[in-house]
């Protein structure tokens, strides 16, 4: 009992500290909108965070809302670009078009394997994306993006322990609508977007068509053959129909698909050995790029981070996706019924050099993934203006996922490149990992908002989730085939590394595992409307994320371990205000998270040498912080935005078998500070012409890429500045210019530890880009 009281006191003290921080220049979610009110004030933003349209200032959740026009103006082309607009959000990539790792307020998982559903949920038009295979889809014809911070287990379910990113695309309307844009820029960039539609049968049937094409040469080059690296080549289309047979019934169908066929994301190969001093390199020496070599191959990375030397001449990543969504709704006098049916299919192929050097140290000649998802949500919700508002529903999801990955390791030591060769003692080996996972999730949920008085509203929500994962998993080791840049699947399987009897050299059947999750999640909140423009709230919520197995395993059952489901208890207080006759919007939040059994994934050097270990473990963490969002419109035409987030995220309990006790270490991908800001000024040049000019910036402090917080797995504080300017005619034509990363700042965005193969795997940000955009809208 005493321990429980002490824990409650600790929680209260953390919330108090965070609340004080929220009143200082540290902070949070910044919402933007397209137009001012008639008197020049800041307009309302309507969001659907609680499954119904509400003013964002009334919702007791920390939310960033970005309109489609703002996204286009800032040059957001996929989910990755949101990081520069949402303090507290980290989206990292090791691949060009798929499997990002997403963190929000320090909550996330670093596991990029397709079988791992992240801790930040992504929904597109209310369809939850279970797999990360298609999570870096093209952003086009978007109405708005909502980033919900904190656990959202009640209305969105498991695997949203850190929050949710909601994408809402533009719907068909019964009025004629058309828009198009073309962007040309550095590296032969050509981006084309077009959308339009209107009524087919007035007031009954409407349609909308949207297309996007994005092409850009790579900003890096492979010196071995002169080919570009990091190029973009993607296209996508969307067809929608809206049918309203009566005033009470609405049927909305959306069919979309696309393809990305780009070069794989390039990375450098940073060596680990100092040949001059004849010793292992220090972290700073490794990051310096000019000293260290790979002790296995003798290769040293190029000083120019945009120049590569890779023996794999067709580094490429292909992603094909298709989705069909059907929403049907009936609105009665007191109750609404909504059905959302979703189907999502993705297929991914990757061919990538892992060591990015002229030597055959490590490569992935075969990496294919296929995911197929079906989901169904049925909701009932109250209508009317009474004191009680509620929503309740049922949810079902089924996903099948298959992954096949082959790795060629130390092929350079094959004594006869024309013949297969196998030597486990070095090891010269060809590895194959093959698994299939089927996920089934069922849930029932309800949330109630009751107005206790004119100013005080209580929210209570509960969800019960029944999750099951069935996994068939097997890895093999076999001979390295003839020396080439591509290899066939293994035909001679020498050793079953992960099977029913790992001590035996006989190849057994695949390992079969079942993981279940049957747990409730909940949310309790009180919102106090002190004045019509000042709202405060306090909330307590629980989020969970399903456990599972480490599908990154390659060699043995020690890697192929199970992890428990994680849970997070989140306490939050917030303030939302519209002041000075709606010319100043000031929002703040403070939070405390008790994070248990968080799932920590990482690649680390094998202390025995050879293939690096991919490990998945449980740990406990404590996270607290504060956020501030300020939007000011001091005079008509001038918009100022500033957002900041402070996050203190440390491991409270983490005993690593290799690296020891990591208690007190900072969570990876959790910088202490993130800042964003911007200014836009527009003015009328004449009755027909309007001009605008703007600038925005983003900054984050030091971020670690591994739990032990040691160099070189760290990126120091960094920031970027972007500029834009444009002119618009009343007829709908608009021309604008932009410069992104004005200072051409280059820094690490992610890194993996492959030091047991003699190198680290770093990814760097894009260089300066610039261009012109011509738009037309009616």
Three-state SS across 674-689?
Answer: EEEEEEEEEEECCCCE
pLDDT digits (tens, 9 = 90+) for 566-619: 999 999 999 999 999 999 999 999 999 999 999 998 877 666 666 777 888 999
* pTM assigned to the model: 0.90
Rounded-to-integer distance, Cα 159 and Cα 397, Å? 13
Which part of the chain is CATH 2.40.170.20? 2-268+305-777
Q: pLDDT higher for 35 or 607? A: 607
In the prediction, which pLDDT does 39 show? Answer: 65
Report the pLDDT averaged over residues 142-150: 93
Q: Is 333 exposed, middle or buried (0-12, 13-18, 19+ CB in 10 A)?
A: exposed
Rounded-to-5 percentages of helix, strand, coil across the chain: 5, 55, 40
Please check whether the domain covering 2-268+305-777 is classified as CATH 2.40.170.20: yes
Rounded-to-integer distance, Cα 577 and Cα 398, Å? 42
Which residues on neighbouring strands pair with residue 263, listed in sequence order? Answer: 316
In the prediction, which pLDDT does 85 show? Answer: 85
Q: Is 424 exposed, middle or buried (0-12, 13-18, 19+ CB in 10 A)?
A: exposed
In the prediction, which pLDDT does 110 show? Answer: 85
Rounded-to-integer distance, Cα 497 and Cα 475, Å? 6
Of 367, 369, 433, nearest in space to 401 by CA: 369
In the prediction, which pLDDT does 602 show? Answer: 80
Q: pLDDT higher for 245 or 67? A: 245
Report the pLDDT averaged over residues 94-115: 86
Report the pLDDT averaged over residues 670-677: 95
pLDDT digits (tens, 9 = 90+) for 346-399: 999 988 888 999 999 988 888 899 999 999 999 999 998 889 999 999 999 999
In the prediction, which pLDDT does 315 show? Answer: 85
pLDDT band at 428 (very low <50, low <70, confident <90, very high): confident
At residue 429, φ and ψ (nearest 5 deg) are -155, 150
Tell me 62's DSSP state: -
Rounded-to-integer distance, Cα 344 and Cα 325, Å? 9
Rounded-to-integer distance, Cα 509 and Cα 490, Å? 16
**Quick check: helix, strand or coil at residue 583?**
coil
CA distance to 96, 257, 294, per residue, from 234 (Å):
11, 11, 35
Which residues on neighbouring strands pair with residue 446, listed in sequence order? Answer: 392, 462
Least confident of 48-62, 329-343, 387-401, 726-740: 48-62
Rounded-to-integer distance, Cα 282 and Cα 280, Å? 7
pLDDT band at 29 (very low <50, low <70, confident <90, very high): very low
Number of Cβ atoms within 10 Å of the Cβ of 113: 19
Residue 36 above 80 pLDDT? no
What are the structure tokens assigned to 306, written together? 């945009």
In the prediction, which pLDDT does 75 show? Answer: 67
Rounded-to-integer distance, Cα 182 and Cα 217, Å? 16
Residue 20 above 60 pLDDT? no
What are the structure tokens assigned to 715, written together? 């990126």
Residue 505 above 60 pLDDT? no
Residue 106 above 90 pLDDT? yes
pLDDT above 70 coverage of the chain, percent? 89
In the prediction, which pLDDT does 509 show? Answer: 66
Report the pLDDT averaged over residues 269-277: 95
pLDDT digits (tens, 9 = 90+) for 317-329: 899 999 999 999 9
The residues, ordered by sequence, that sit 6+ positions from 618 with a Cβ below 8 Å of its Cβ are: 563, 564, 566, 597, 598, 599, 600
pLDDT band at 424 (very low <50, low <70, confident <90, very high): confident
Residue 469 above 50 pLDDT? yes
**Pair 681, 692: CB distance under 8 Å:** yes
pLDDT band at 743 (very low <50, low <70, confident <90, very high): very high
Number of Cβ atoms within 10 Å of the Cβ of 743: 10
> What b/e readout covers 435-463, taking b as 16+ CB neighbours within 10 angstroms?
bbbebebebebbbebebeeeeebebebbb
Residue 28 above 50 pLDDT? no
CA distance to 143, 167, 173, 395, per residue, from 170 (Å):
5, 10, 9, 25
**Pair 401, 373: CB distance under 8 Å:** no
Residue 638 above 70 pLDDT? yes
**Pair 163, 174: CB distance under 8 Å:** no
CA distance to 53, 58, 164, 379, per residue, from 50 (Å):
8, 11, 12, 12
pLDDT digits (tens, 9 = 90+) for 698-724: 999 999 999 999 999 999 999 999 999
Residue 69 above 60 pLDDT? yes
Residue 150 above 70 pLDDT? yes
Rounded-to-integer distance, Cα 396 and Cα 376, Å? 5
Rounded-to-integer distance, Cα 749 and Cα 704, Å? 10
Helix (H) or strand (E) segment spanning residue 10? helix 2-22
Residue 170 above 60 pLDDT? yes
**Pair 135, 121: CB distance under 8 Å:** no
> Which is it for strands 307-308 and 220-222: parallel, antiparallel or unpaired?
parallel
Determine the length of the chain. 778
Distance of CA 608 to the CA centre of its chain: 34
In the prediction, which pLDDT does 91 show? Answer: 87
Q: pLDDT higher for 130 or 485? A: 130
In the prediction, which pLDDT does 35 show? Answer: 45
User: Where in 654-732 does DSSP place strands (E)?
Assistant: 655-656, 660-661, 673-684, 689-700, 703-704, 714-715, 718-729
pLDDT digits (tens, 9 = 90+) for 721-742: 999 999 999 999 999 999 999 9
In the prediction, which pLDDT does 652 show? Answer: 96
pLDDT band at 23 (very low <50, low <70, confident <90, very high): very low
pLDDT band at 11 (very low <50, low <70, confident <90, very high): very low
Q: Give the DSSP per-residue string, 514-530.
A: EEEEEEEEEEEEEEEEE
In the prediction, which pLDDT does 293 show? Answer: 96
pLDDT band at 554 (very low <50, low <70, confident <90, very high): confident
Residue 338 above 70 pLDDT? yes
Q: pLDDT higher for 729 or 496? A: 729
Residue 284 above 60 pLDDT? yes
Residue 492 above 70 pLDDT? no
In the prediction, which pLDDT does 507 show? Answer: 53
**Pair 153, 522: CB distance under 8 Å:** yes
Residue 17 above 50 pLDDT? no
Report the pLDDT averaged over residues 188-194: 96
Distance of CA 180 to the CA centre of its chain: 27
Tell me 296's DSSP state: T
The residues, ordered by sequence, that sit 6+ positions from 110 with a Cβ below 8 Å of its Cβ are: 101, 600, 601, 602, 668, 669
Of 384, 387, 380, 383, nearest in space to 446 by CA: 380
Quick one: CA torsion of 555, 558, 562, 566, rounded to 10 degrees?
A: -110
Average pLDDT, the chain: 87
């Amino acid at each position: 009992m005493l321990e429980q009281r002490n824990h409650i006191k600790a929680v209260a003290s953390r919330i108090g500290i965070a609340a004080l921080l929220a009143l200082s220049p540290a902070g949070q979610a910044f919402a933007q909108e397209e137009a001012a009110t008639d008197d020049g004030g800041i307009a309302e933003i309507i969001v659907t965070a609680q499954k119904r349209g509400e003013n964002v200032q009334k919702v007791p959740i920390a939310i960033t809302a970005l309109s489609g026009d703002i996204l286009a103006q800032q040059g957001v082309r996929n989910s990755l670009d949101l990081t520069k607009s949402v303090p507290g959000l980290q989206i990292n990539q090791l691949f060009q078009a798929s499997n990002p790792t997403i963190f929000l307020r320090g909550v996330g998982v670093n596991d990029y394997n397709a079988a791992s559903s992240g801790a930040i949920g992504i929904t597109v038009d209310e369809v939850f994306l279970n797999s990360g295979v298609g999570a870096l889809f093209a952003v086009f014809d978007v109405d708005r993006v909502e980033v919900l911070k904190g656990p959202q287990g009640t209305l969105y379910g498991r695997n949203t322990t850190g929050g949710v990113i909601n994408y809402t695309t533009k719907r068909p309307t019964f009025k004629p609508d058309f828009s198009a844009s073309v962007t040309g820029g550095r590296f032969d960039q050509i981006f084309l977007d077009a959308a339009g539609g209107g009524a087919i049968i007035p007031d009954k049937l409407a349609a909308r068509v949207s297309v996007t094409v994005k092409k850009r040469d790579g900003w890096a080059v492979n010196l071995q053959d002169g080919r570009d690296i990091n190029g973009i080549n993607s296209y996508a289309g969307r067809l929608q129909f809206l049918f309203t047979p009566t005033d009470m019934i609405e049927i909305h169908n959306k069919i979309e698909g696309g393809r990305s066929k780009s070069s794989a994301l390039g990375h450098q190969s940073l060596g680990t050995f100092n040949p001059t001093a004849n010793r292992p390199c220090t972290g700073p020496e490794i990051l310096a790029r000019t000293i260290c070599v790979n002790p296995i191959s003798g290769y040293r990375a190029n000083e120019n981070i945009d120049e590569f030397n890779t023996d794999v001449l067709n580094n490429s990543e292909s992603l094909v996706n298709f989705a069909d969504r059907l929403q049907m709704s009936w609105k009665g006098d007191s109750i609404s019924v909504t059905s959302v049916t979703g189907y999502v299919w993705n297929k991914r192929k990757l061919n990538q050099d892992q060591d990015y050097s002229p030597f055959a140290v490590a490569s992935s000649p075969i990496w294919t993934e296929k995911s197929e998802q079906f989901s169904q949500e049925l909701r009932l919700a109250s209508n009317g203006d009474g004191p009680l508002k509620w929503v309740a529903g049922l949810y079902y999801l089924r996903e099948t996922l298959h992954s096949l990955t082959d790795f060629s390791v130390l092929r350079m030591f094959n004594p006869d490149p024309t013949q297969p060769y196998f030597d486990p003692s070095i090891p010269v080996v060809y590895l194959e990992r093959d698994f299939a996972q089927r996920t089934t999730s069922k849930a029932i949920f309800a949330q109630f908002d009751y107005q206790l008085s004119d100013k005080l509203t209580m929210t209570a929500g509960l969800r019960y989730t029944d999750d099951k994962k069935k996994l068939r998993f097997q890895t093999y080791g076999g001979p390295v085939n003839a020396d080439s840049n591509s290899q066939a699947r293994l035909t001679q399987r020498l050793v079953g590394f992960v099977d029913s009897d790992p001590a035996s050299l006989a190849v057994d059947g695949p390992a079969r595992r079942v993981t279940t999750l049957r747990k409730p999640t909940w949310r309790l909140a009180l919102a106090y409307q002190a004045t019509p423009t000042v709202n405060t709230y306090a909330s307590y919520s629980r989020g969970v994320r399903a456990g599972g197995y480490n599908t990154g395993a390659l060699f043995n059952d020690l890697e192929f371990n199970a992890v428990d489901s994680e849970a997070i208890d989140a306490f939050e207080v917030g303030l939302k205000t519209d002041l000075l006759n709606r010319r100043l919007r000031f929002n703040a939040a403070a939070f405390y998270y008790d994070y248990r059994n968080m799932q920590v994934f990482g690649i680390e050097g094998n202390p025995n040498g050879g293939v690096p270990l991919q490990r998945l473990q449980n740990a406990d963490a404590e996270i607290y912080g504060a956020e501030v969002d300020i939007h000011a419109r001091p005079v008509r035409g001038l918009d100022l935005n500033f957002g900041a987030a402070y996050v203190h995220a440390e491991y409270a309990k983490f005993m690593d078998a290799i690296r020891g006790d990591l208690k007190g270490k900072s969570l990876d991908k959790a910088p202490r500070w993130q800042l964003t800001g911007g200014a836009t000024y527009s003015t009328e040049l004449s009755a027909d012409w309007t001009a605008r000019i703007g600038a925005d910036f983003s900054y984050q402090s030091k971020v670690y890429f591994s739990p032990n917080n040691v160099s070189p797995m760290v990126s120091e504080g960094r920031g970027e500045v972007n500029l834009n300017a444009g002119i618009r005619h009343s007829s709908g034509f608009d021309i604008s210019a932009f410069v992104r990363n004005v200072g051409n700042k280059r820094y690490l965005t992610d890194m993996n530890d492959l030091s047991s193969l003699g190198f680290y795997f770093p990814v760097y940000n894009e260089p300066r880009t610039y261009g012109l955009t011509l738009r037309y809208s009616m």
